[in-house]
Chain A
Amino acid sequence: MSVLVLAQHDNRALDKATLHTVAAAGRLPGPVHVLVAGHDCAAVAEAAAALEGVEKVLLVEHPAYEHPLAEDLAALLVSIASGYDHLLAPSTTFGKNVMPRVAALLDVAQVSDVVEILGPDTFKRYIYAGNALATVKSGDVRRVLTVRTTAFPAAAPRDGRAEIAIVAAVEPTGLSTFLGREVAKRERPELTSARIVVSGGRGLGSGENFKLIEELADVLGAAVGASRAAVDAGFVPNDYQVGQTGKIVAPELYIAVGISGAIQHLAGMKDSKIIVAINKDEEAPIFQVADYGLVGDLFKIVPELTAELRRARG
């Protein structure tokens, strides 16, 4: 009875999503192992070995794993799966890409985006864009899960260090080739782990006007997000999107500016602790989930709010 967590990383550092996945794994019976597959990534294995709740780290270094390609990672996971009852990854685009392939190769179902672990075979997850909460029971011998990172705490560092075992790579499949990644360099906190998120919607009217959102975010030390409508309209890149098919966030404070509150957007942010909505339409559905609402012209309210917060900060 062991639990395996597939680590998400960039060969230098462990992604925060993995910390939450390790904490989720701790709710399952058996020791937790973390698989670090990458290239020149010993530092990542060290970081994983220093996490509370981790009994062992499996390190696989091979050029084939430098970039996370689903075909090779799935083959690797399948090669070691027989020792595990549960295989977990975060429900990020990384985990979503790899784990269903693993599940199919093991001939088991996957439970996606788990928000609560009720037992070794029973889990809660949202369906219908967060409008229904399902309890699902898996009858399979092995369970493949992706976990919603905002639903579990982050595993803390601990004293001491878990054993790091070297594992052999699997022959690369050569089915796909990584060509490149455009990663926008941002000074602001990362969306899914930020304490405060300020998001803009179609009401902003243009990408240029998003600077109002950025200024407000900066005075709060917040991350910047967006509704699908704002991304579709080309105001901001896709990685800003909060919602059913974008990122799921649950910060302490979520400020929705010029966002009407479509079901699929609410699915991505309604677990936030405090929600503030700023919208000119007082009937907008966003007000039904907002703790505090301001009805009015965002082009007037947002600069005022930024100035007021700046003043309050001194």
Chain B
Amino acid sequence: MSMSAYLSQLVQVAVALMLAPLLVGWVNQCRAWLQNKRAPSLFLPYRTIRKLFVKDAVVAQNASPIFRLTPYIVFGAMTCAAAIVPSLATDLPFARAADAIALVGLFALARVFMSLAAMDIGTAFGSLGARRDMFVGFLAEPALLMVLFTASLISSSTSLPQIVDTLAHHEIGIYPSLAFAGVAFTMVSLAENARIPVDNPATHLELTMIHEAMLLEYSARHLALLEWAAALKLFNYSCIGLALFFPFGIVVSGADWLAVMSSAPLLVAKLAIGGVALALIETLSAKMRIFRAPEFLGTAFMLAVLAMLVNLLLGA
């Protein structure tokens, strides 16, 4: 393991931490434009996070240590995930520690602690949000695993850098299995990131909240960390999607860290296009009733399994 690998690892995590709020700002801006509204500043998420960090934290009297620890655990899990997902380079020393399945586990760890913290205070909206989040999560997780298994079948490895290496080098052709998996992954990411068909990130109505309902009791630096973690989660999911389905431009093993720097503009461009697509999906679709979510995620699961089966049968 060379010095440049560690450097590219560091650069990647730094880029993820810095770019994640920008991605959220970009999606919000695109959405506002599409809905004929005046868009907020692209850098609003940064300002929000900075403002929250200088405020004084208020914690409920009956809060247990879980409530205080959760922001750090969630933020840590998302940063770890950012270190594992090959967004700029595949020569990542840290990625050896965890494969695709462990990555899903990392997301699940964050979700469990979020839900525990939301129920910790004992408010109605917190536990309501926590239960809904677990409900969506237990439907979305198998579908996500199936998508990752399809990619693993193609590259016969569950290690993410290996998958991306194989996918980046395979010949250009029509792969129906990857198309199915791509659609399934999009549906899962919408659900996991609390986006519109399942949850509304901009809602102010507590009764319809899922993700936001769990943050109601948090303030100041805790809230800042959780907002940042949510942005990182969106960034990570986008990067997984880009790495699996549009892997060109990611620096494969053996390159020095200057090449890693040069792959960053391409990543930004891909993320910008992805952000427009996300804003478009969110504008074009209406929020579903919560009990329609099983149907939505069941379809995602079915598509992901079909992708795997088609890949086994046709080898494509």
Whether chain B is bound by chain A comes out as no
Report A's interface with B, CB cutoff 8 A. none
Chain B interface (Cβ < 8 Å from any Cβ of A): none
